[in-house]
Structure 1
């Protein structure tokens, strides 16, 4: 029995290590290539350890306007995520805690919105932004980003809020709390794990979104990071180390947000387990 248990652990650790290498190698290769010169890359394109470490690629991508793209992506992504969290959480409260005639049909509309391909709305949104006079601005991206992020966010938060014990809400009612106070003081703090999930999902999606930015943005001053990364290649050549440096910098905010939100999810789940 002991030998069998050790054998199972060995294969489990082997599987985990294999998955780690499979998923981690591309990231290590990206960082390693970003620290190579063009000559070093052509001499050893597949090596992980560069012969001569250089940070010139990082300086060059900033000289090519990466800072502007970075700032634009931060502004539109954080603004969209904040708006989505506020609207989705407030919409999920009546859908999950109040019983009224059109409760389920309204929730089904959000589910249908999850199935709608956003490519089908590109032309109407393009025409609408031109008529509103916000084409080629970050405001043109705000509406589509929020609209297409809401359905899955409302669905996640509604399902999570339904699991919050009703006794907490009843205790707040005894103290004379209104629906507004019950939402902010009881439900919102107890849905932090679900809100963190919504933040991670939407941040990754919006930070890497390309199609809407391609259609609704044309000037370099308004370009987001995914759209601006197209400029890091020439007509007849590609600066691979430079592109890898840009991709490394572009991936850092996603990693930081994921690590921060992941801790929130774990704390929220642990806190809920202790209360239960």
Structure 2
């Protein structure tokens, strides 16, 4: 038999090994899906129960009857006020974060100057700073600048702590874009600014989308800064609403689960809509890098 060819027995063995490997992979995937969906299933079905039905019916049985008043109570008790506050904070923070990180990543990825490696190293080092260590200094700063108890007091910390990771990832992403694209554009008369806005930025959409989803989820669920810097009920965000509902309905678990369900649905919806961009961004960074 010529070297490099498999006989029938070797082919059958390879096929059996492949089937075993795929079976194991599918089993692990099913276990992962079950572990992921079980808490979500528990949260949804129990949000449609009355206060003490969980004790009488069991937590994984379907509600009998389905009780929708929990959601009515949540919506009528100011849920949308908290929701829109979170939307404003996250939207403004993401726009500022993406703009600043892209402006910072481009020169670090494309321009050669003496301080380039030192600035890049400093940005990477900032990723190791614990977020909650800065609570007291930021609290003092917001009071000094008159931003305390306003939504702007949250936007600053959210952007600042998202920047190091974003600049790090976006710099690596922009380095993978071929320089020949910029050189061709320069021959056609594009200057550095036109190159950035017309060539590099559009080609970085996958990376920017990945950063927006990754940081958006963190900002949406952030509690420590929101709890420290906001005291007026009308300005509180969704994570604080969860704490308030828990305090008012500490024994009514179903209504708390209803708040949790409404809180996670926007992020799940956005992830379903933009999951292709997230996967493309992660794959592009992995393959090109």
For residues 48-99 of structure 1, the C-alpha deviation after alignment (integer angstroms, 9 at most, x for no partner) is 4222212211111112221111110000011101110011011100010010
CA contact (8 A) 1:214 1:227 kept: yes
For residues 15-72 of structure 1, the C-alpha deviation after alignment (integer angstroms, 9 at most, x for no partner) is 1111100111101111111122223222124214222212211111112221111110
Task: Specify the structure having the higher radius of gyration (Cα).
Answer: 2
CA contact (8 A) 1:197 1:261 kept: no
Q: Does 1:11 align with 2:28?
A: no
TM-score in terms of structure 2 length: 0.89
The correspondence of residues 155-194 of structure 1 with structure 2, limited to 5 A, is: 155-194=168-207
CA contact (8 A) 2:46 2:54 kept: yes
- In the alignment, what sits opposite 1:254? 267
Specify every segment of 5 or more residues in structure 1 that has no aligned partner in the other structure, as ranges.
none
RMSD in angstroms over aligned alpha carbons?
1.9
2:60 aligns with one of 38, 47, 50: 47
The correspondence of residues 81-92 of structure 1 with structure 2, limited to 5 A, is: 81-92=94-105
CA contact (8 A) 2:227 2:240 kept: yes
Shift in alpha-carbon separation, 1:251–1:132, aligned structure 2, 3 A:
same
Q: Does 1:125 align with 2:138?
A: yes
TM-score in terms of structure 1 length: 0.93
For residues 191-224 of structure 1, the C-alpha deviation after alignment (integer angstroms, 9 at most, x for no partner) is 1121111101110110000111111011101111
- In structure 2, how many angstroms separate the alpha carbons of the residues matched to 1:14 and 1:50? 30
Shift in alpha-carbon separation, 1:15–1:169, aligned structure 2, 3 A:
same
Task: Tell me the CA shift for residue 252 of structure 1.
Answer: 1.2
CA contact (8 A) 1:232 1:238 kept: no
For residues 87-133 of structure 1, the C-alpha deviation after alignment (integer angstroms, 9 at most, x for no partner) is 10111000100101111111111111111112221111111111211
Number of aligned pairs? 272
1:23 aligns with one of 36, 55, 72: 36
- In structure 2, how many angstroms separate the alpha carbons of the residues matched to 1:35 and 1:106? 53
Task: Tell me the CA shift for residue 264 of structure 1.
Answer: 2.0
Q: Please give the secondary structure, in 2, of the residue aligned with 1:232.
A: helix
- In the alignment, what sits opposite 1:233? 246
- In the alignment, what sits opposite 1:63? 76
Specify every segment of 5 or more residues in structure 2 that has no aligned partner in the other structure, as ranges.
1-12
- In structure 1, how many angstroms separate the alpha carbons of the residues matched to 2:98 and 2:113? 23
CA contact (8 A) 2:182 2:199 kept: yes
